[in-house]
Amino acid sequence: MPYDTITDLDQLIRRLQSYNPDAESDFVRRAYEFSAKAHAGQMRQSGEPYLQHPLAVAGLLTALRSDVTAVVAGLLHDTLEDTLATPGELEQLFGKDVARLVDGVTKIGKIQFRNYEEKQAENFRKMVLSMADDIRVVLIKLADRVHNMRTLEHLHETKRQQIAQETLEIYAPLANRLGIGWIKNELEDLCLKYLKPDVYAMLKLRVAKRDEDRQAYIQEVANQVQAALAENGLPCEVQGRPKHLFGIYQKMERQSISFEEVYDLTAIRVITDTKMNCYAVLGLIHSLWRPVPGRFKDYIAIPKSNLYQSLHTTVVGPKGEHVEFQIRTEEMHRIADYGIAAHWKYKERGQVDDKDGKVFSWLRQFVEWHQDLADNRQFMDTVKLDLFHDVVYVFTPKGLVKEMPKGSTPVDFAYAIHTEVGDHCVGAKVNGKIVPLKHQLSSGDAVEILTAPTQVPHKDWLKFVRTSRAKTKIKHWLKIEEQKRSVEIGRRLLEREFRRHDLPPAQLFKSDRLLLVARDLGCESADELAAAVGYGRLPTAQVISRLIPRPGGDRAPTVEETAKSGVPKPVEKGVKVSGGRDLLMQLSRCCNPVPGDRIVGYITRGRGLTIHSVGCPNLEALDYDKERLVDVEWDTSAPSIHGVKVSVLAVDKTGVLANVSASISESEANISRAEITTREDQKAQLDFVIEVNDTAHLDRVLKAIERVDGVIRARRVRAWQAR
Ligand code: MN
C-alpha cells in the first residue's frame, strides 16, 4: 500500500528513492537523527516513542511523492513546537527551505479553530492557504493530520471529538480543494468513525456483506466491458471502485435515502490511455447498454475546479440494474488521487488541454507554470501560494474570521464589524500591540478595535481605508455633518440679515411666513432654506426680498455691509469677527495664521468660517465670491497658543539639535514636534512645530535660534511655501 504508515528509516529512504533516485539518503538520515535527539524521551499517547510520528508524516509525504526538502521538513515538523530546537539551528543544519517549511507548519498549527459555521470554516481553509507561502507547508500539515487521525483512538474522548470535527471542517475540504482525493477520503472516513461510530460500523458491515454478494455480478459486467474494448483495440483497465463510507453516508443524509438505494449502484472505473479513447470507451459502453438520460457528465471538457477530470455515465446494465461508469486516462486518475501533488513529477505526461479557460481555476495555473519550468525543484520553489493574494483573513476578539481585501486597515475592520465601531474608533491592537489606524493587516492577525464615544470619522481616513464599506460610511458621516453645519451657518447668516431689517429672527424661524418663502424658493422647510444659504446656493438677499418686497429691486447687501452694522463678539479664543455673529470658525491650515499676522475670514460652503492670512495664495486661488469674505481681527485680550512650523538650516555637527532646542525653550516656547534630516552637503535641516503666542513671540524665538552656534538660518514655514 503506498499510503500505509512507515515505521523505519530504511523503509522511508527506499520509498523516496523509488521515485527520486537522486535523493540523498544522508540528508534524510541526518534529519531523522536530529528529530530523534530533539524528541528523545517524548512519548505519544499510544505509548510509542514520539519519533514514530514525524517518521510516519515523512512517509506519507513520500506517498505524495514529495521532494527531499519536504520529506526532511516532515521529519522535523514538530521540533520547533515541541522541543528546544530553533529556526536558526534548523536553517544552519538543513538549509533555508527546510527551516521555512517547518516554521510555516508550526505557524499554521497555532491557528485556533473555534467556530465551525460553514462560512467560518471556509475562511479558515483559505487562511491556512494564504498563510502558507509554499504549497509544501500545506501538504506537510495534511500528512500530519492524516497520521494524527490514524492514531486518534489513543486520545481522550473530548479531544478525539474536537480533532475529528476540526478535520472534517477544515482539513478534509482542504485536501479536496487541493485535489488530493485519497487524503480527503481517508480523513472523512476516519472522521465518520469517531464522530458517528454506530453509523460507521453499520456501513462497514453492510458494504462488506453487499460486496460479497455482488462480486460475481460486478465481475460479469467488468468482463463484458473488457472484452468489448479489447475487440475494438482500446487499451484499458477495468476496476471496481474503492469504498468511501463517508460518501455513502453523505448521500443517505442529503437525499434521505436508504443504504440500499445508494449502494445499489454498481460502480465501475475504466482507465485508458488517451483523452480521445475516453470518448471511444464511452461510445462503446453506450452501445452495449442504454444510457440513463441526464446522468452523463463530461468532466474532461469541463474539469472540476480542483482539476478533477473524468467522464461519468450511468447505463441500464445486463440485469436491468443501473451501473455507474467513470472513464478516465491514467494521468487523470493520478490527478484525481494526488491533486496538486500530482504535478510535482511526470511533467512530460501532464498534457491537460487548456482551451476552456472559463472553468479553469487556480489549480490549472499550477499545471501551466509547471510545464514551462525546467525541473521539479524549480517548480516547487516557484509555486508560491498566492491563491488569495488579494485578501487577508483576520480574527475578531471572539475568534471569528473576517475576510478583508489586502491593504485593509483597522478602520476597515472596525466598519466591517459595525458602523458605530467604525465611527468611534480611536486605535487598534493587532496581536496585542497598539498600531496606528492606517496599519495594514496581515492574515492571521487578531484585531481588537479601541473606541471612544467622543471620536468621530475623519476626512483623513479616506486616504488609507481600503474597503468601499468604510469609504461609504465615512463619506456619509461627513456629508451629514456638513449638512448640519450648513444649516447652522445659514441660520446665522439669515439671523444677521433679519436683525438688520428689524425682523425678529426667533419668531420668524418658527413662522409660516418663512416657511412660505422657503417653499417659494423650492425648499421644503426653514432648515432646508438655511442649508441652501449656508452652502452658498442661495443669497440671503433673495430671502429678504421675499419677506420685505422693495421697489428698488433685490440687490443683496454684501457681507461686509452687513458686518459693519452688527456688534463685534468674540467667538474663538484669539479671534473676533468684526460685526459678526458667532460662526463656526477655524484657522486655515494652509497659511496657519498667528496673532500678529493680517487675517481675513472666509465663509466656506458648509464648513463655517476659516481664517486665512491676508495674501494666502489658497484664498486667492479660491473661487470665492466677495460676499463671503468677512473682516476679522485678533482678539489680544486673551493670549492664545498657536503651533507654527519652523525650519532651521544648520551645520551638521553634534550638539546643534540640543542647543537649538534649548534656545527655543529659553524663549518660552514649547516644541510640539521635531524632525532632523541630514543633507548631502553636510548640513542638517531641523524641522520643528513650535507653540507661540503671536508673531512677536515667534520673531523672538527665530532670533534666538539664529544666535546658536552652527545655525545658518531659521525661518517660519507656511504650507504653501516651498522649502
Ligand atoms: Mn505533528
Over residues 100-130, the pLDDT tens digits come to 899 888 888 877 666 666 666 666 766 676 6
In angstroms, what is the span from residue 109 Cα to ligand 1's centroid? 9
Average pLDDT, the chain: 80
Mind giving me the DSSP string for 424-461? TEEEEEETTEEE-TTPPP-TT-BEEEEE-TT----GGG
For Cα atoms 36, 41, 42, give the angle at the middle one, nearest 5 degrees.
85
Query: Is 415 a residue whose pLDDT tops 90?
Result: yes
In angstroms, what is the span from residue 65 Cα to ligand 1's centroid? 19
Report residue 284's pLDDT band, with 50, 70 and 90 as the boundaries: very high
In angstroms, what is the span from residue 21 Cα to ligand 1's centroid? 27
Query: Is 615 a residue whose pLDDT tops 90?
Result: no
The answer to whether residue 211 is catalytic is no
Give the pLDDT mean for 469-473.
89
Give Cβ neighbours of residue 314 (< 8 Å, ≥ 6 apart): 265, 291, 292, 295, 296, 322, 323, 324, 325
| Greatest extent of the chain over all pairs of C-alpha atoms, in Å | 113
The DSSP 8-state label assigned to residue 374 in this structure reads S
Give the pLDDT mean for 47-72.
91
In angstroms, what is the span from residue 139 Cα to ligand 1's centroid? 12
Q: Pull the grid cell for residue 260.
A: 440500499
In angstroms, what is the span from residue 77 Cα to ligand 1's centroid? 6
**Do the beta carbons of residue 3 and residue 60 sit within 8 Å?**
yes
In angstroms, what is the span from residue 141 Cα to ligand 1's centroid? 8
The reported pLDDT for the residue numbered 76 is: 96
The reported pLDDT for the residue numbered 313 is: 92
Query: Is 398 a residue whose pLDDT tops 90?
Result: no
The DSSP 8-state label assigned to residue 597 in this structure reads B
Q: Which of 81, 356, 582, 666 is catalytic?
A: 81
**Do the beta carbons of residue 474 and residue 462 sit within 8 Å?**
yes
Query: Is 322 a residue whose pLDDT tops 50?
Result: yes
Give the pLDDT mean for 302-311.
80
Query: Is 550 a residue whose pLDDT tops 80?
Result: no
For Cα atoms 571, 588, 437, give the angle at the middle one, nearest 5 degrees.
105
In angstroms, what is the span from residue 120 Cα to ligand 1's centroid? 24
Q: 329-356 pLDDT, tens per residue?
A: 998 888 888 776 665 542 222 223 333 2
In angstroms, what is the span from residue 73 Cα to ligand 1's centroid? 11
For Cα atoms 573, 579, 584, give the angle at the middle one, nearest 5 degrees.
45
In angstroms, what is the span from residue 56 Cα to ligand 1's centroid? 10
Is the pTM higher than 0.75? The answer reads no
Q: 493-520 pLDDT, tens per residue?
A: 888 888 888 888 888 888 888 888 888 8
The answer to whether residue 82 is catalytic is yes
**Do the beta carbons of residue 414 and residue 449 sit within 8 Å?**
yes
- Orientation angle between helical segments 68-76 and 87-94, nearest 10 degrees: 140
Q: Which of 24, 82, 89, 687 is catalytic?
A: 82
In angstroms, what is the span from residue 122 Cα to ligand 1's centroid? 23
The DSSP 8-state label assigned to residue 622 in this structure reads S
> Of 78-82, 214-218, 439-443, 661-665, which gets the smallest average pLDDT?
214-218
> Of 112-121, 369-378, 657-666, which gets the smallest average pLDDT?
369-378
Distance CA 130, CA 123 (A): 10
Distance CA 357, CA 368 (A): 12
Query: Is 255 a residue whose pLDDT tops 90?
Result: no
> Of 64-68, 373-377, 538-542, which gets the smallest average pLDDT?
373-377
Percent of the chain with pLDDT strictly greater than 90: 26
In angstroms, what is the span from residue 235 Cα to ligand 1's centroid? 43
Query: Is 367 a residue whose pLDDT tops 60?
Result: no
For residue 272, give Cα distances in angstroms to 221, 230, 340, 635.
17, 11, 22, 95
In angstroms, what is the span from residue 173 Cα to ligand 1's centroid? 19
The reported pLDDT for the residue numbered 412 is: 95
Report residue 358's pLDDT band, with 50, 70 and 90 as the boundaries: very low
Distance CA 444, CA 10 (A): 38
SS3 content of the chain, % helix, strand, coil (to 5): 50, 15, 35
> Of 247-261, 524-538, 576-590, which gets the smallest average pLDDT?
576-590
Which one of 62-66, 340-344, 676-680 scores highest in mean pLDDT? 62-66
> Of 120-124, 193-197, 375-379, 574-578, which gets the smallest average pLDDT?
375-379
In angstroms, what is the span from residue 45 Cα to ligand 1's centroid? 13
Mind giving me the DSSP string for 465-526? ---HHHHHHHHHHHHHHHHHHHHHHHHHHHHHHHHHTT--HHHHHHSHHHHHHHHHTT-SSH
Mind giving me the DSSP string for 71-140? HHHHHHTTHHHHSS--HHHHHHHH-HHHHHHHHHHHHHHT-------HHHHHHHHHHHHHH-SSHHHHHH
Strand partners, 240: 268
In angstroms, what is the span from residue 185 Cα to ligand 1's centroid? 20
Percent of the chain with pLDDT strictly greater than 70: 82
Query: Is 720 a residue whose pLDDT tops 80?
Result: no
The reported pLDDT for the residue numbered 541 is: 81
Which residue type sits at 98? V
The reported pLDDT for the residue numbered 383 is: 40
Report residue 93's pLDDT band, with 50, 70 and 90 as the boundaries: very high
CB atoms within 10 A of CB 550: 10
The reported pLDDT for the residue numbered 264 is: 64
The reported pLDDT for the residue numbered 396 is: 85
Report residue 701's pLDDT band, with 50, 70 and 90 as the boundaries: very high
The reported pLDDT for the residue numbered 624 is: 60
Counting Cα atoms < 13 Å in the Cβ hemisphere of 482 gives 16
Which one of 359-373, 441-455, 592-606, 676-690 scores highest in mean pLDDT? 441-455
* Long-range contacts at 33-42 (CB < 8 A, ≥ 24 apart): 34/75, 34/76, 34/79, 34/85, 34/93, 34/94, 35/75, 35/76, 35/79, 38/76, 38/79, 38/83, 38/84, 38/85, 39/78, 39/79, 39/82, 39/83, 42/82, 42/83
